[in-house]
Amino acid sequence: MKKILLALTAVAAMTGSASAADLAARPYVKAPLPAPVANWTGFYIFGGGGGGLSNSDQSVQTTVGAVPLTIGQRQGGSGWFGTVGLGYDWQFNSTWVAGVFADGQFGSIRGTVQDPFFGITGSLKLEDSWAAGVRLGYLVAPNVLSYVNGGYSGAHFGQTNFMTLAGVPAGAHLNSYNRNGWFVGGGVENSLNIFGISSPGWFMKTEYRSAFYNAKTQDELIDGTNLPTGNSIRANSWNQTISTSLVYRFNWTGPVVAKY
């Protein structure tokens, strides 16, 4: 009997040792890294081009006394332009981005200028403009920003040379001038990492902008002498543009990944 008890005790001891070995510490496995998070904070530059429409509310009045000679009339036009600019964005949480920017436009957006009293017509050309403003964007995806913007703008309008209804020079003109105003707009900006192609830092944006410039009174002048004809034209300007630009972000070398 004693021999049987001793045998059972030995078997139990061996079983306990095997169980303890099974409970030994397992090899360390590193936890998976969190998903990459895009970061829009930083400087960028851009360049592109597009097309625009021009509208102007005009009226003719006497140079002396500003006596109205015509009722107000709206004239229109269209054209193309190029643009370059720079800016800085700040991503202040997971979905919202705010920024400041400045840009310049150059090209040819033409509208019509008419003086029915003298029977002459000409072309008003927006040659270049600039803008400085702010924008606020919402990230519809980590690499896609939908935004609105607005701010201050200035524009340079070239000289208008009048023609008669017969299509010959009328011998009168309006001098070139500058006007200031404001703008509002919006657009979408997205990275170019598409179709399996990696292009760190490169983005594309498409933007609509509406710019308003205050009314200005311009005297009609005789060619050569610059003496007034006796009539003046008062007009404002409203320009709508759509542009597509290539953007390079200096801080964007790929998604930011947390390190451990």
CA-atom Rg of the chain in angstroms: 35
Strands (DSSP E) contained in the chain are 42-62, 73-91, 96-115, 120-141, 144-157, 160-164, 169-174, 177-191, 202-222, 228-249
Nearest one of 112, 59, 65, 62 to 234, comparing CA atoms = 59
What does each C-alpha distance from 15 to 3, 6, 24, 42, 240 come to in angstroms? Answer: 19, 15, 15, 65, 86
Q: Determine the Cα–Cα distance for residues 182 and 122; give it in Å rounded to an integer.
A: 26
Sign of CA dihedral 161, 111, 79, 190: positive
Residue 31: pLDDT band (50, 70, 90) is low
Question: Which of these ranges, 14-28, 56-70, 119-133, has the smallest mean pLDDT?
Answer: 14-28
Residue 4: pLDDT band (50, 70, 90) is very low
Residue 57: pLDDT band (50, 70, 90) is very high
What does each C-alpha distance from 157 to 79, 176, 247, 257 come to in angstroms? Answer: 14, 6, 28, 49
Question: Which pLDDT score, from 0 to 100, does residue 253 have?
Answer: 53
User: In degrees rounded to 5, what are phi and psi of residue 8?
Assistant: -65, -40
Query: What percent of the chain lies above the pLDDT cut of 70?
Result: 81
pLDDT value at 1 more than 50: no
- What average pLDDT does this structure show over 45-71? 95
Mean pLDDT for the chain overall: 87
Phi-psi region of 217 (alpha: psi -120 to 50; beta: other; left: phi over 0): beta
Residue 20: pLDDT band (50, 70, 90) is very low
Sign of CA dihedral 193, 198, 201, 203: negative
pLDDT value at 208 more than 60: yes
pLDDT value at 16 more than 60: no
Beta bridge partners of 231: 62
pLDDT value at 22 more than 60: no
Q: Determine the Cα–Cα distance for residues 49 and 47; give it in Å rounded to an integer.
A: 7
For 144-159, write each residue's pLDDT tens digit: 999 999 999 999 999 9
Q: pTM to 2 decimals?
A: 0.79
Q: Determine the Cα–Cα distance for residues 157 and 173; give it in Å rounded to an integer.
A: 13
Query: What percent of the chain lies above the pLDDT cut of 90?
Result: 75
For 173-196, write each residue's pLDDT tens digit: 999 999 999 999 999 999 998 666
Sign of CA dihedral 19, 23, 24, 27: positive
Question: Which pLDDT score, from 0 to 100, does residue 198 have?
Answer: 76
pLDDT value at 26 more than 70: no
